Amino acid sequence: MASDISCANCGEDEALEGSRDGEVITITCESCGLIWDRDLTPKCPTCGSTDVRAAFQSILEKSRGTQLSIQSMKLIYLCPTCDADRLADYVKSNTPIPPDVLPVTPRD
């Protein structure tokens, strides 16, 4: 999943260039020239709260036949308000959250 970054001035979301200086990432919009520092604070995409909890989500690939294997994990953030059920399941099971979409083999 790509990050949801867009220029606040013109809305451009592809022609953006970033450079890192320590903990700060400076973004430049190649369309309108706006320059801003990217806020790296994790936020809930639904409500905007910064009160989020870190969780791991598995990335699955087909290994053979219909068998799915965890290939890696990605760090996601769950909001205690908006993602209450997912967060409770994650804490209770102590296993990675399954991906939103499972890999499938296209049929010819």
What is the token pair recorded at 38? Answer: 């990217």
**76, 57 Cβ separation under 8 angstroms:** yes
pLDDT tens digits along 18-76: 999 888 899 999 999 999 998 888 999 899 999 999 999 998 887 777 778 888 999 99
Per-residue pLDDT, 2: 45
> Dihedral sign, CA of 59, 96, 102, 2?
negative
Residue 88, domain extent:
41-99
Whether residues 51 and 22 fall in one domain: no
Whether residues 63 and 20 fall in one domain: no
Whether residues 36 and 46 fall in one domain: no
Whether residues 18 and 54 fall in one domain: no
pLDDT tens digits along 79-106: 999 999 999 999 999 899 988 877 765 5
Count of the separate structural domains present in the chain = 2
Whether residues 88 and 46 fall in one domain: yes
